[in-house]
Structure 1
């Protein structure tokens, strides 16, 4: 696939840069779960004092693959270049140091002459933390509440959008119960890591999440939550607010 060809050319260029200590992949390629449509998340580990000089050179390394038709330099979790090539391949290049590297995903090492990445391998995971899981549950209840207001106002565009917010969190919640080690991936991975029955229920909800049919969608969300609520509430033994609020919202929209 073009991804493998691109990675080889990028690594060949990057490893010649004296600032680069390690090169590794994250995302779907880092987990070896990619397909022909996947983007490339390529990371370079740099010494702290070498970051600024390297940032001035990173675009020239990205051009080692093909002509770039669009790029943007941003900072979310680290200095990052988003590059889109003439063959529509999308590459995200991240620049990290030992202090800034966030090890919250599996990775594949491509270049590491001093074995710096060995110390990180035991921490690879894609599991939501307990707090992250609880935040998703709170968000489901909260956006169902926001939906109620939008629906009562008769706002046909914002109402289904609030349900999409519900579903983003609900997908992660359900993954936490059925495929915990992939729960951080949320909606991206339900088609490969949830039972078919759950996949179909979620897809059906999305079929109705429209300006004309959102009232059907919210009832189906309530029904899905009722199937899952017993194990969800077991995670909230010391919380006497979240589950009662969630159940109230479920009952508000139940058949």
Structure 2
């Protein structure tokens, strides 16, 4: 795959930089879940004193694979180049130091002559009960907004609210199905759900179009009722079951 070629060529280029101590992958390639559509998350661990000079050389290293047709800078976990090559490959080059490196995901080491990553232990990235409660509380309030939009006949806004509801619910589904990776949210969620859950969720999403409402939201509520019944004891003290039950009845009452 083109991803493998890009990893090899950019990896060879950066590993010879005097500032680079180690090179490794995160994301799908580190987890062994990559496919022909995966992007690349390549990390360079550099000496702090060489950081500034290394950052100036990143584009030339990336273009050791192919010319970039787009790139921008970000700072998510460290200085980052978000790049797209002329073959359409999305390739992110991250730069970290020993001080800024966070052990939040599985890695695949490509180059580590000093053994800098020998003690790296990937931490899980779950969501707390407080975070899940916040998401479900937002879901409940969005049901109120959806009801208003639907009854007003504003089906375009109602459809958009339905999409918001679906996104929140899918994060909670991920939390239940695979707590250790809950912060990944919707990405690759279809691999984590049971066939029945996936069928029910797909059916709800297919019914979120303006002409199908309120059916899709009612199907989402069906899923939410089951989820919350299983989660009740784990939700924080801020959870308002009364408001949720109130909104469930109102959504089911919609024509």
TM-score normalized by structure 1? 0.90
The change in CA–CA distance for 1:37 and 1:15 in structure 2 (over 3 A counts) is: same
Deviation at 1:220, TM superposition (A): 0.6
What's 1:169 paired with? 168
Instruction: Kindly indicate whether the alpha-carbon contact (under 8 Å) linking 2:133 and 2:238 is maintained by their aligned counterparts in 1.
Output: no
What's 2:234 paired with? 235
Instruction: Kindly indicate whether the alpha-carbon contact (under 8 Å) linking 2:3 and 2:40 is maintained by their aligned counterparts in 1.
Output: yes
The change in CA–CA distance for 1:53 and 1:194 in structure 2 (over 3 A counts) is: same
Deviation at 1:147, TM superposition (A): 2.1
SS in 1 for 2:132: helix
State the alpha-carbon separation in 2 of the partners of residues 221 and 24 from structure 1.
40
C-alpha distance after superposition, 1:201-247 (max 9, x if no partner) = 111111112222231111111111122222221112x5154333333
SS in 1 for 2:160: helix
SS in 1 for 2:201: helix
State the alpha-carbon separation in 2 of the partners of residues 52 and 117 from structure 1.
22
Deviation at 1:105, TM superposition (A): 2.1
What's 1:125 paired with? 124
What's 1:147 paired with? 146
**Can you give the 5+ residue segments of structure 1 that lack an aligned partner in the other structure?**
none
What's 1:61 paired with? 61
What's 1:76 paired with? 76
State the alpha-carbon separation in 1 of the partners of residues 117 and 244 from structure 2.
42
SS in 2 for 1:113: coil
The change in CA–CA distance for 1:98 and 1:220 in structure 2 (over 3 A counts) is: same
State the alpha-carbon separation in 2 of the partners of residues 58 and 154 from structure 1.
52
SS in 2 for 1:21: strand
Q: State yes or no: 1:252 paired with 2:245.
A: no
What's 2:18 paired with? 18
Aligned residue pairs total 253
Instruction: Kindly indicate whether the alpha-carbon contact (under 8 Å) linking 2:82 and 2:92 is maintained by their aligned counterparts in 1.
Output: yes
SS in 1 for 2:106: coil
What's 1:92 paired with? 92
The change in CA–CA distance for 1:113 and 1:133 in structure 2 (over 3 A counts) is: farther
**Can you give the 5+ residue segments of structure 2 that lack an aligned partner in the other structure?**
none
Deviation at 1:134, TM superposition (A): 2.8
State the alpha-carbon separation in 1 of the partners of residues 204 and 102 from structure 2.
34
What's 1:189 paired with? 188
State the alpha-carbon separation in 2 of the partners of residues 192 and 125 from structure 1.
18
Deviation at 1:57, TM superposition (A): 0.7
What's 2:41 paired with? 41
What's 1:101 paired with? 101
Deviation at 1:198, TM superposition (A): 0.5
Deviation at 1:84, TM superposition (A): 1.0
Instruction: Kindly indicate whether the alpha-carbon contact (under 8 Å) linking 2:133 and 2:239 is maintained by their aligned counterparts in 1.
Output: no
Q: State yes or no: 1:221 paired with 2:220.
A: yes
